[in-house]
Chains A and B, each alone.
Chain A
Amino acid sequence: MAFDNRRRTPEELAEVAAEIRRDIIKMLVEAGSGHSGGPLGTTDIYAVLYLGGILRHRPEEPNWAGRDRYVLSAGHMAPVLYATLANAGYFSKEELLTLRKYNTRLQGHPGRDTGLPGIETSSGSLGQGISIAVGMAMSDKLLDKSDRRVFSLTGDGELQEGSVWEAVMAASHYKLDNFCWIIDNNDCQIDGRIDEVMSVYPIDAKCESFGFDTITVDGHNFDELYGAFDRFIENHRNGTGKPTAIIAKTYMGKGVSFMHDKFEWHGKPPSAAEAELALKELMASN
């Protein structure tokens, strides 16, 4: 049974998120490669967006012309997007187990060429998805005069790509109040902590100076996430002319104790034994 997309209580969302996290673990252990940390860390955001009534979308009609669009700029986090789409009913949960396999629609990084429903664009080269999202928001607001909204999630390491800042400069320049930028601030990337690799801090002051209404939230607190998304929707409705940035403070590997806040889990899957442990923890957590 797919979850429907409606406002939910924190308890309900916790249940949705736990199910998505379990799917992520099952997919990754079956695939034998792939990214665990980012997907588990951003799951709560996806629960609110796709199954908590924020994103206007129709799983049974993926190309519905009135839909809001979501662009995963950090393409390596594909497992959470796939697991969320399956839980929303875009395709069967069985298909999740084909992740990263030969001829799959669930490519290691999202591939538009596969025709997987719910995938708005290919991504995987960091710093490109967000520009695509800005292009979509320009099309919606400046050309089509539609009230569609565009959401895009980048990692915090991804902010080191200069093109990200080119994208958000344009979002601000064109007053794209229909554009919501979500930053997954888990302070982890492949080689270590953000500060050790190349500091991007302070992120909030940068977003503000780039003209964004900037909101920092605990990315695992559903009330705070709702608060931030609601403010974006208000901004859009009121035509503030300002894009919105949501800095979500998250933990890499959230929900699985031995992955918690460890950058080493950026790009590897759990072993069979680790997956069993993780699933046990995720059963207990809801």
Chain B
Amino acid sequence: MQEYKLLGQKPTRHGFGHALVTLGERYDNVVVLGGDITGSVMTSFFKEKFPDRFFSIGIAEQNATTIAAGLALSGKIPFFASYGAFCAFRNADQLRISVCYNEANVKIGGGHAGISVGPDGATHQVLEEVSFLRALPHMTLVVPCDYEEARKATIAIGEKVGPAYIRFGRSPVPQFTIEDTPFELGKALVMREGNDVALIACGALVWEAMLAAQELAKRGISARVINSPSIKPFDVQTVVQAAQECGAVVTAEEHQVYGALGGAVAEVLAKNYPVPVEFVGVKDTFGGSGEPEELMVKFGLTWREIYASALVAMERRDKGFLGSVRRATDVAVYEEETIEQQ
């Protein structure tokens, strides 16, 4: 299997911006709507290249979403992008009824997602939209892990008919997939083989899961790393197989722990193959200002939590029960051990 190495750092939003230009070149019915934030979410690339197919709607996310539905019902493929905080929630009703219920071919790019938007603070650090969007019938939902995957995912949702949402961040994040790395909606990708524990992640936490797997290997634990960018449709088979072969699972995402990737994994396993699952994510709290790196540490979104959670999940498996072990203290102990090892 391909070995994934760190190739540099780049924001996923650039992948989105570049892919829009590609889509614009391929299809002349692709149009883009701006929400007064085009330079930040990189719809500016498209705007420069195809000024006649770019429409500024102003700071009006509800209107932009429903205008997009109207364009879609007239044969266009509209993309609207803004901060995820405002183009998943301000327009939630519009997404539900005008877009999804209509099965309108509307694509939303939700930028600056997650805690890593940093100094802007809690209002802008959207950490809940994946749960909401996942629950919408007909929605396709992707959370890419790096620039290259964001680029491919944007093209994929552009070429699939129906409502879709792609989530991307602001800060540069590790780049480790390449042009040849497969990407398919509805498919997860095994990034590293292993049979002791499965680490299932999306977005910026995929690389952290890779780092956690490296650390676990030092302890003789072989972790399988699964990148699951496609939250909906979801790759049930890869997840169930991982549970069957590893018997212990950790999910990791830059999102609330409720109802997103972790929720999807838990639902699938509860129905098909129950094993202990530990959830890495934001624990039912709002974010706050700070630098992205310090916030990722504060909110427990680094390889350390994935590593510690892997040990907890395996212990629960080995003790033969699905219930919780002394989780809080265990994580603290594992964290201390890890820090000592460094």
Contact = CB atoms under 8 A, between A and B. Distances in A.
B56 A111 contact: no
Contact of B59 (A100, A107, A123, A126): A126
Nearest to B61: A161
A122 B125 CA distance: 14
Contacts of A111: 121-123, 288
Dominant SS among interface residues on chain A? loop
Interface stretch (A57-65, A188-196, A214-222): A188-196
6 contacts: A100-B119, A122-B123, A127-B59, A162-B63, A191-B34, A191-B39
Contacts of B119: 31-34, 100-101, 108
Contacts of A103: 288, 290
Interface residues of B, number: 31
A111 B86 CA distance: 17
Contacts of B122: 107, 109, 111, 113, 122
B295 interface: yes
Contacts of A162: 60, 62-63
Contacts of B85: 125
A32 B298 CA distance: 20
B182 interface: no
Given A102-B289, A160-B59, A197-B58, A123 B123 contact: yes
Given A113-B286, A191-B34, A161 B59 contact: yes
Given A101-B290, A106-B289, 8 more contacts: A102-B295, A103-B290, A108-B289, A109-B120, A125-B86, A157-B58, A162-B62, A198-B57
Which 9 A-B pairs rank lowest in CB-CB distance, beginning with the nearest?
A198-B58, A124-B123, A160-B58, A102-B290, A108-B121, A100-B119, A107-B121, A108-B120, A109-B123
B121 A197 contact: no
A157 B56 CA distance: 13
B13 to A, nearest CB: 15
Contacts of B49: none
Interface in A74-116: 75, 100-104, 106-109, 111, 113
Contacts of B295: 102
Interface in B158-176: none
A102 B294 contact: yes
Interface string B58-77: 11101100000000000000
Contacts of B124: 108-109, 124
Given A108-B120, A122-B123, A157 B59 contact: yes
Contacts of B5: none
B236 interface: no
Nearest to A126: B59
B289 to A, nearest CB: 5
Contacts of A34: 119
B37 interface: yes
A44 interface: no
Contact of B121 (A32, A100, A160): A100
A184 interface: no
Of the listed residues B37, B124, B289, the one surrounded by the most CB atoms of chain A closer than 10 A to its CB is B289
Contacts of A197: 34, 36, 56, 58
Contacts of A200: 58
A23 interface: no
A32 B290 CA distance: 11
B327 interface: no
A157 B60 CA distance: 10
A106 B123 CA distance: 13
Contacts of A104: 288-289
Interface string B109-139: 0000000001111111000000000000000
A213 interface: no
A111 to B, nearest CB: 6
Nearest to B123: A124
A32 B124 CA distance: 17
Interface in B267-295: 286, 288-291, 294-295
A127 B118 CA distance: 22
Nearest to B38: A191
Contacts of A113: 122, 286
Nearest to B286: A113
Interface string A120-139: 00111111000000000000
B60 A198 contact: yes
B38 A107 contact: no
Contacts of A177: none
A23 to B, nearest CB: 18
B290 A190 contact: no
